[in-house]
A and B are shown apart, each in its own frame.
Chain A
C-alpha cells in the first residue's frame, strides 16, 4: 500500500479516538526517564524521546505474571483458576523500531513452531504495533549491525517517519492497513513529503557509526567456549540483572508458587543468567559457578546459540545495557574484543 501521512497536530486526537476502542500503550515520562504505560488521554504520550528505560517487552511478557491460582482448601473439590484472557484489542503507539524488532525475536521463543505460550501469544495476537522511526539515533545504538535500522519495519504494523510538521506512515501489514483505513486522520502522502521521508531515513542511517560484523562474532564464538578471554572480560561484572532485565530480547524466566495456607498462585517472573541460582541444580551443583560462566552464557546465547536455533542474533542493538550497566561493561566493546581475538 502507498504511504500515508498524518499531521503532528492530529496525533493527540487520533490517540483519543483509539483509546475509546483499544487499550493504548505509549511512551510516558520526563527527564529522560520514559516507560511504556497505558494512556487514558492522547496528550499523555511523549513521542519526542530517545528510547524507554524499560523495554516494552513487559507488555507481552510482564516481569511478574500469574499463570493460575489454586485453592486446595475444599479437599476433593480443589479448583484451579486461570486468569481471564484480555479481550480488548491493544495498540502500542510510538515504539522504537529496535523494540518492535525484538518482538519478532521473542516470537521465535513464545509463539514459534515448537512451542506456543498462550499468555504471550494471546497478547501478541490482539496488539497492533505502531512504531516511530529514529531521526536521531543515540550514540549507543547499533541496530544496523543486527539487521535492523532506525526505520526497520520488522515487527511493526505501521511505522511513522517524522519529517517535521507531519509523519509519513508506512503501511507494513494487513493489520496496519485495516487500522489506517478506519481513521481519517491518515491521508494519502504528498509526493514532496515522500522525498523528504527518503532523505530523513538516509540521514538517520548515516548517523549510526558503529558497525560490528556480528556474523563473524557468531563464527568466532563457535570455538571460544574455553577461551581465557571470559576470565578477563567478566572480571568487573557485578552479576546484577541490569543488562538482562532492561534488554528487550532477554526472556529467561522462573516459575514459583506463592502460597498462603491452602491457596496459592503460580507465578512466572523474569530471571537472569547473571544470577547465582540461575542454573543451580537440586544437587547443589552449579555449572555456571561464577560471573565468568554467566557472562559467557549471556554472550553465547545471544550471538551463537540463538543464531543456531533461530537464524538470528538475540540482540537488536538498542544500547540499553550499555547505558545502564553500573560498571560500564559495554557489549559493543565485548563484541569488538571477540573479533580481535
Chain B
C-alpha cells in the first residue's frame, strides 16, 4: 500500500512538472482513524500529501463535472466507470482527464467496524497486509479487511480500471463467482406488501440531508427536482410520502447510469440501504437492454437512444 502512495506522488509530480495537468485530485490522510479525505494538489510541493489506503472510499469523479482545469484523477475500478459515464454524458472530455488507475481489493466500511465494537472508540487504525490493527481505550483488536468491506465492494466485478492513462500496481483477480444481484432477487421474491414495508422502513430513516445525491457522480443537474420551488414537485418534510418520492425518482434518474460505486450508500449518515433500489435498476437495465454502465466509451446509454425493437413489456398501457 505504501508503494502505491509513493507511486501516486511520483506521477503527480511528473504531471505537474511537465505541465500536463493543472490539478491532481487524490486522497490525503484523514483527520480521524479509518478515514482518508479528498485532496486537491496544484503544485509539486504539495504532492507529498497524497496517499493511498483502504479508506480511500470517496468517488473523486464527483469533482469532475465542476472543473474547467486539466485534471489527473486517482481512480479505483468503480471510479473509472463513473468517469466513463461522465465522458459519455459530456460532463468532461477524455482529453481533459488523466486517469491514474488503481486496481482495488475493496474499501473498508468504518461503520461496520464501529457496529462490531459497539461503542468502544478507535484511537488508531493501522493497515497491515490483509488486516487492520485497531487500538483505543480498552481496545486492541486485529480484524480481517475482507470481513468489513463496503457492500458494493463485496459484489464488485470490475475491480480493475477499464481505461486508464497509467496503472499503479498489478491487476487484481476479478471475482467471477459472486452473484451480485442475489439481494435484489431476494427482495423481488418477497410479496408486494413485504417489499413496500421494508422499503418504507428504510426510507423513513431519511433526514433528507441529500448526502446520497451529492456524493453521486451522476447527480450534477443544475437544479435538482427536489430543490425546485416553481413548481414545487415534492414537499419538504420527512413524511414517508416525501422521502419515498425523493428516493424513487432518484433511483429512476440514475437508471442505466449508476455504476454501483456505492457512494450514496457510504455517504448516508443514517445507514439507509440505498443500493436496494439502485442495484435493482442496474439489474433491470442489464436484463432489458444488455447494457452495463461505465464499461466502454463506445456503446450508447440505453435511455439516451431509441431502437424500434427496444423491449417494452414493462410499459403501462
Interface residues of A (CB under 8 A from B): 30-33, 48-50, 53-54, 63-64, 136, 138-140, 232, 235-236, 238-242, 245-246, 254, 256, 258, 267, 269, 272, 275-277, 280, 322-324, 326-330, 332-333
Complex Cα gap A53–B214 (Å): 20
Decide: A139 and B123 in contact? CB cutoff 8 A: yes
Q: Which residue of B lies closest to A332 (CB)?
A: B31
Given contacts A63-B207, A138-B121, A238-B267, contact A328 B32 (CB under 8 A): yes
Find out whether the CB atom of B35 lies under 8 angstroms from the CB atom of A328.
yes
| Cβ-defined contact, B115 with A31, below 8 A | yes
With A63-B238, A245-B209, A246-B209 given, name 6 new contacts (CB 8 A): A50-B121, A54-B207, A64-B237, A242-B209, A267-B235, A327-B58
Most buried by B among A235, A239, A272, A330: A235
CA of A136 to CA of B114, assembled, Å? 16
B239 touches A64 (CB 8 A): yes
Chain A hits for B121, CB < 8 A = 50, 136, 138-139
Does B271 sit within 8 A of A, measured CB to CB?
yes
B267, A32: Cβ atoms closer than 8 Å:
no
Residue of A nearest to B138 (CB): A136
Q: At the interface, yes or no: B14 with Cβ under 8 Å from chain A?
A: no
**Residues of A contacting B209 in the complex (Cβ-Cβ under 8 angstroms):** 240-242, 245-246, 272
B119 and A322 contacting across the interface, CB-CB below 8 Å? no
Contact between chains at B119 and A258 (CB < 8 Å)? no
Partner of B32, one of A139, A241, A245: A139
Select A32's contact among B37, B119, B239, beta carbons within 8 Å: B119
Q: Chain B residues with Cβ under 8 A from A269's Cβ? A: 236-238
Q: Given the known A-B contacts A48-B119, A267-B236, are A322 and B210 also in contact in the complex, defined by CB atoms under 8 Å?
A: no
A-B pairs with beta carbons under 8 A, tally: 115
A256-B232 contact, Cβ under 8 Å, with A328-B32, A328-B35, A332-B31: yes
- Residues 21-76 of B contacting A (Cβ, < 8 Å): 30-32, 35-40, 58, 62-63
What's the Cα separation between A246 and B268 when bound, in Å? Answer: 12
Within 8 A of A (CB), among B111-148: 111, 114-115, 117-119, 121, 123, 137
Inter-chain contact B31/A49, CB cutoff 8 Å: no
> Which chain B residues border A327 with CB–CB below 8 Å?
37-38, 58
- The smallest beta-carbon distance between B226 and chain A, in angstroms, is 10
Per the 8 Å Cβ criterion, residues 263-278 of B in contact with A are: 266-267, 269-271
A139-B123, A240-B267, A275-B227 are known contacts. Are A258 and B235 too (CB-CB below 8 A)?
yes
Q: Supply 24 A–B pairs (Cβ within 8 Å), ascending by A.
A: A31-B114, A32-B117, A32-B119, A53-B269, A54-B207, A136-B137, A139-B32, A139-B121, A236-B38, A238-B211, A238-B215, A240-B211, A241-B209, A242-B209, A242-B211, A242-B267, A245-B207, A267-B237, A272-B209, A276-B227, A277-B227, A323-B32, A328-B36, A333-B31
List residues of chain A with CB within 8 A of the CB of B269. Answer: 53, 242, 246, 324, 326
Interface flag for B229 (CB, 8 Å): yes
Question: Is there a chain A Cβ closer than 8 Å to B223's Cβ?
Answer: yes
The one of B207, B227, B239, B271 in contact with A33, judged by C-beta atoms closer than 8 angstroms, is B271
* A32:B118 contact, CB within 8 angstroms: yes
Give the distance to chain A from B55, nearest Cβ to Cβ, in Å.
Answer: 9
Say yes or no: B31 contacts A254, CB within 8 Å.
no
In the complex, what's the smallest C-beta–C-beta distance from A322 to chain B, in angstroms? 7
User: Which 4 A-B pairs give the minimum distances between C-beta atoms?
Assistant: A64-B237, A326-B267, A240-B211, A328-B37
Chain B contacts with A in 287-305, Cβ cutoff 8 A: none
Most chain B CB inside 10 Å of its own CB: which residue of A32, A238, A333: A238
Give min CB distance, A33 to chain B, whole Å: 7
Contact A30 B58 (CB under 8 A): no
